[in-house]
Every structure is written in C-alpha cells, then in structure tokens.
Amino acid sequence: MTRITRHLDTGPSAIAEAAGLLVQGGLVAFPTETVYGLGADATNGRAVAGIYEAKGRPRFNPLIAHLASFEFAREQGAFSPAAARLAEAFWPGPLTLVVPKAATCTVSEIATAGLDSVALRVPDHGVARAILAATGRPVAAPSANRSGHVSATTAAHVAVDLDGRIDAIVDGGSTQVGVESTILSCLGDRVAMLRPGGLSREAIEKALGFALAEGPEGSGDEPLAPGMLASHYAPRAQVRLDAEGPRPGEAWLGFGGDGHGGATVTANLSTTSDLTEAAANLFGMLRALDRPGIAAIAVAPIPSHGLGEAIRDRLSRAAAER
C-alpha cells in the first residue's frame, strides 16, 4: 500500500499533527535518543499491524511500548522492586524493561505478540516525549527501518527505507546514542539482559548492586531474546569483524588511530577510541560505506566493555550468515 509521507519539523504544530496522526491509527516515525522509532498507537491493533507491514517484519517479534513517564508505565506493567529501582535510576533513558503485564495494560495483543509480559520504555528525547505526552497513550515503536536493515539515526535514513509506506517522519536531527536501548527482563526475582544497548551493563549492575543474569528465563513462553534473528542490522555488503586491515575491494571501518592499509572507502567510528562516539556513528557509517562495488566492510576490533558490548552485538549480527 502506498501512503503519502509527510515530512514534519519539531515545532508545536508539527508535534500536534504527529500526535493526531497516531491517535487516528497512523504510522509516524520520530526521533528518540537511541534511534528513530516507527510509532503507532499501541492500543490499536490495526495500527500496530501496519508497523509490521511497513517494515516487512516477522509477526512473532513483539514491540516496545513507549510512554511519557514512569507513572504511566506503572499502569501498563507490574514492576518488581528491582524493576522499579532501574526505572527510577535510568528513565527517561536508553533502557527497556520487560515486565509482567498489569491488569490495566492497554497494549494490544499484537504488540506483545500474545505474551503475558510487556516491554516498556520512557525515552529521553524532547521530541519523543512531546509526542507521547500529546498522544496520551502508549506508542509501540520498533526502529524505523525496513526489517533486517541497519537502524535509522537520521530522518533521511528513515526516508530511504520507509518513504511512501508511512504517514509522517518527524525530523529531529541525528540521534545522540546511536544504538538501541538495552533490554532487561524483570519477570521474577532475576534481572536478565536480553539485548545489550545504549545503557552499559556496568551502569546497570552498579544501580542494582548485583550482577545481571545471562539470557532469557527459559520459561519456554518467552520469545527468544530480541533480534534473535541472527542476521539483523545488516547492510547489503558483507561485514567482517575484528579485521586487522582491509582486503582488496573491502571498505574499512576503523576504531581509534589505526591505519587502514590503502582502502579507498573508509570511515572511523572514533579516532580517539571513544565508545560513546562510536555507538553514535555506527549505523550511519555502515550505511555510508555500503556502496555499489563494495563487496565487504572490514571492521577494526572494538573492545567489549561499556557501549562496546552493544556495538559488537550489532556488528556480529550484521556479519551473520543471511
């Protein structure tokens, strides 16, 4: 289905228009501090179904419901003491909490993929929060890219993937964090990491006072952790991780002050080896290096501490067999 995609700025009338489209069941891409999200009214099953259609996304993958505040999130989910502590420490911010659905949960079954749990997040971005406040309901929003492709960190990236398939794109410039939120499952007493992301494991463990459990609970009814599709976040070119240097015909994606052995197409995630800067640059640079004639993108070794865990996770999915 073809739609006319409106390109909106972030002024008050644009925010009101974006919220109006959402309330009417439309699909609106908007910036968050992590990546651009493709939003739909999470309480409207038809609208949520439109997200899957626009993205070409497999139905079984549940979506994150975005909310304007922790107070509102408490109506949707049941927070254990640990979950509440995390919400208080890090919301608004790049953290998603998977919690049991509350009795008052209004998120549609299609957004939760029929699970008893719901993924909730309060984003830390003025535009996202203004849209959420004006909408007055949970907004389901996966990353605003075609399914399996690299996530979008600018409105132009969103347009390349989704123009003509959605109702509007709100242009709030480049996103700050650059990788998606960290997802934690808080279903029992355990807190487990389902997806590394924009909030580091170190910061989470410090706030909790104990170490994160590994992987999903294994109760059997949880979908395998997020993005379990091994190939994900993928550019067209092949990706080769932990490379010492580029081979002929490869583009080079560096990190730190290392040389790039004569590759003609190159970029550097952070010349100063700053992992926060590298996360912010990751998806834009993968898109920029993914040019005709480039068979593969060789990527320098990235350390695995801090945001390096999320960067390595996305790169290994981009490198996975398709």
Residues that bind ligand TXA (CB under 6 A): 32, 34-35, 37, 61-64, 96, 98, 112, 115, 117-119, 121, 123, 141-143, 180-181, 183, 194, 222-223, 226-227
Whether 156 and 141 have beta carbons less than 8 Å apart is answered as: no
Q: How far apart are CA 64 and CA 98, in angstroms?
A: 9
The answer to whether 175 contacts Mg ion (rule: CB under 5 A) is: no
- Other CB atoms within 10 Å distance of the CB of residue 59: 10
Specify which residues 185 forms β-bridges with: 98, 192
Residue 272 to residues 27, 188, 257, 277: CA-CA distances in angstroms?
A: 39, 41, 7, 9
Give the range of 127-135, 138-146, 187-195, 197-205 binding Mg ion by CB under 5 A: 138-146
Smaller CB distance to ligand TXA: residue 89 or 245? 89
**CA–CA gap between residue 94 and residue 306 (Å, rounded):** 14
Q: Compute the least distance from the CB of residue 252 to Mg ion, in Å.
A: 25
Nearer to Mg ion, 5 or 153 (CB): 153
Residue 181 interacts, among ligand TXA, Mg ion, none and using kind-specific CB cut-offs from 5 to 8 Å, with ligand TXA
The distance of closest approach from Cβ of residue 180 to Mg ion in the complex, given in angstroms and rounded to an integer, is 6
Provide the token pair at 322: 């398709």
- Judged by CB under 5 A, the number of residues near Mg ion is 1
- Going by C-alpha positions, the residue among 19, 36, 233 that lies closest to residue 135 is 19
Q: Does 143 bind Mg ion (CB under 5 A)?
A: yes
Of 132, 18, 165, which Cα lies nearest the Cα of 66?
132
Q: What does the per-residue mask of binding to Mg ion show for 94-133, with x meaning CB under 5 A?
A: ----------------------------------------
Binding site for Mg ion (CB under 5 A): 143
